[in-house]
Amino acid sequence: MHWFLIMKEKLKRELGSFDIFCIATGAMISSGLFILPAIAFAKSGPAVIAAYLLASVLVIPGLLCQAELATAMPRAGGTYFYIDRSLGPAAGAFGGLANWFSISLKSAFALMGMGIFAVLIFPAIQIKVVAVGFCLIFAVLNFISVKVTGRFQIFFVSLLIGSLLLYVFRSINYLDPQRFIPFVPFGFGSVFATAGLVFISFGGLTKVASIAEEVKNPNRNIPLGMILAFLVTSMLYVLVVFVTVGLVDAAPLKASLTPISLAANVSMGKLGIVLMTAAAIIAFITTVNAGILSASRQPLAMSRDGLLPGFFSKINFRFKTPHIAIFITSGFMIFTILFLNLEDLIKTASTLQIFYLSLSTWR
């Protein structure tokens, strides 16, 4: 009986609308903005700007469905819970695992990004060592308190948005219109293919549905936070990529793993490199923090329904967090960091993101 009560114990409602906005925004802005534009530019040229805009349009159905469902059924697990209740346990299991894999892989992608940018400051360190170390730090932070996680997210997302806006406004006068010509050098098909590649950049938007059980007044705070996050992040993606393409020649942009920092050097010099490197690290911090928070609620919800072993739903008595789900999720992220390369992470996470969003909108 004691074990049953532990498994069924509810999580605390401690998050408001601004927490939701910052969790969703921080979950989206990371490697998808600070690393991926160079890879995407190599595939579509200046039309990468249109690819990001198209990807933002494609995520709208998933956004609206998730916002509606999260307010109607504010339970831990988000996408898994909705798919399970509408399509049955089999589809729910596939959807929940796909969502868990997608969020975990995107977070691992962000951790790799942290390692890449950390090497710019400390060349002697190893990318994967940095990634694993930070994964362990965020696992402990999520274990301690969801409220602390939310406050942490608000602080760093505010710094991140301010840094990106400063980069955009300081760079406008340095743009070269010739760098946008030809705009679609590889044909319109490349725009659609690249939109699929960068779709992962918006993956964090629906993560907040996984933590709906921990949101105060979910009917108002969840849709408000999600919609504001979508609008602000979409605007930042398009503006930052537009400015970056206009600042850097095609050849160095394609070859760079740090395209935003490369472009910031053109408009702001060494100060720009430092600012955008710091912004990138902050972005990765917010993505991983939100990723572990939301990904760990998938096995928690599946365990409550008997689709995973009962220990996944065990909640710590002191901190009121699903500690076993958090540490197992973090362990999987460490495994992928050690054994998958960067492009494999991107492709796998994007594919799973599209798969589970398709299931969640099929009602």
pLDDT digit string, tens, across residues 121-143? 788 888 889 999 999 999 998 99
Asked if 287 and 29 touch (Cβ cutoff 8 Å), the reply is yes
pLDDT tens, position by position, 230-270: 999 999 999 999 999 999 999 999 988 889 999 999 999 98
* Per-residue model confidence (pLDDT) at position 19: 92
* Per-residue model confidence (pLDDT) at position 165: 96
CATH number at residue 218: 1.20.1740.10
* Per-residue model confidence (pLDDT) at position 4: 37
* Per-residue model confidence (pLDDT) at position 342: 61
* Per-residue model confidence (pLDDT) at position 345: 61
* Average confidence score pLDDT of the chain: 86
Domain encompassing residue 230:
13-361
* Per-residue model confidence (pLDDT) at position 362: 54
**For 91-108, what is the mean pLDDT?**
82
* Per-residue model confidence (pLDDT) at position 103: 81
* Per-residue model confidence (pLDDT) at position 155: 92
pTM of the model: 0.81
**Domain count of the chain?**
1
The answer to whether residue 8 sits within a structural domain is no
pLDDT tens, position by position, 34-71: 888 999 999 999 999 999 999 999 999 888 888 888 88
* Per-residue model confidence (pLDDT) at position 3: 36
Q: How many CB atoms lie within 10 A of CB 66?
A: 27
Does residue 101 have a pLDDT over 90? no
**Beta bridge partners of residue 215, listed in sequence order:** 15
CB contact burial 138-160 (16+ within 10 A = b; e otherwise): bbebbbebbeebbebbbebbebb
The answer to whether residue 47 sits within a structural domain is yes
Do you know the residue count of the chain? Answer: 363
C-alpha dist (Å) from residue 73 to 86, 219, 238, 260 = 12, 10, 33, 39
**pLDDT band with cut points at 50, 70 and 90 for residue 331:** very high
* Per-residue model confidence (pLDDT) at position 5: 38
Lowest pLDDT segment from 137-141, 230-234, 347-351, 358-362: 358-362
**pLDDT band with cut points at 50, 70 and 90 for residue 156:** very high
pLDDT tens, position by position, 173-208: 999 999 999 999 999 999 999 998 898 788 778 778
The answer to whether residue 7 sits within a structural domain is no
Choose from 24-33, 102-111, 256-265 the range with maximum mean pLDDT.
256-265
**pLDDT band with cut points at 50, 70 and 90 for residue 1:** very low
The answer to whether residue 3 sits within a structural domain is no
The answer to whether residue 236 sits within a structural domain is yes
The answer to whether residue 2 sits within a structural domain is no
Choose from 25-29, 30-34, 226-230, 306-310 the range with maximum mean pLDDT.
226-230
- Report which residue type is found at 263: A
More confident residue, 318 or 359: 318
**pLDDT band with cut points at 50, 70 and 90 for residue 358:** low
More confident residue, 144 or 237: 237
* Per-residue model confidence (pLDDT) at position 81: 83
More confident residue, 210 or 226: 226
Does residue 328 have a pLDDT over 60? yes
**pLDDT band with cut points at 50, 70 and 90 for residue 361:** low
Q: What percent of the chain has pLDDT over 70?
A: 91
C-alpha dist (Å) from residue 47 to 59, 90, 168, 256, 258 = 19, 40, 19, 18, 19
Burial of 327 (0-12, 13-18, 19+ CB in 10 A): middle
Which residues are CB-contacts of 306 (< 8 A; sequence separation ≥ 6)?
A: none
